[in-house]
Amino acid sequence: MLWGSSTLTSTLLEHGLADEVLLIVYPVLLGTGKRFFAEGTPPRSFELVSTKAFPSGIVINAYKAAGSLQSLR
């Protein structure tokens, strides 16, 4: 489990060392903040595995890495 490191998240995914990403979304807008992925992270695809919504508005989405991003051309 990794908490709050955009650079380490990017590195783990780039080297195939993470097989799932949990994205917890809170219904609060705070303005600017850290990016989820570090600057320069190569584009990649993710597949939604599961999602769970709570009465509070919090949503937890689980994704698995699905390889590099395919061009739409």
Q: CA nearest 52: which of 32, 30, 71, 24?
A: 24
pLDDT (mean) for 3-24 = 80
42/10 Cα distance (integer angstroms)? 8
Look up the CATH superfamily of 6-68.
Dihydrofolate Reductase, subunit A (3.40.430.10)
pLDDT value of position 51: 97
pLDDT (mean) for 23-43 = 78
Between 7 and 72, the higher pLDDT residue: 7
pLDDT band of 29, cuts 50, 70, 90: confident
pLDDT value of position 4: 64
DSSP 12: H
Tens digit of pLDDT for each residue in 50-65? Answer: 999 999 999 999 999 8
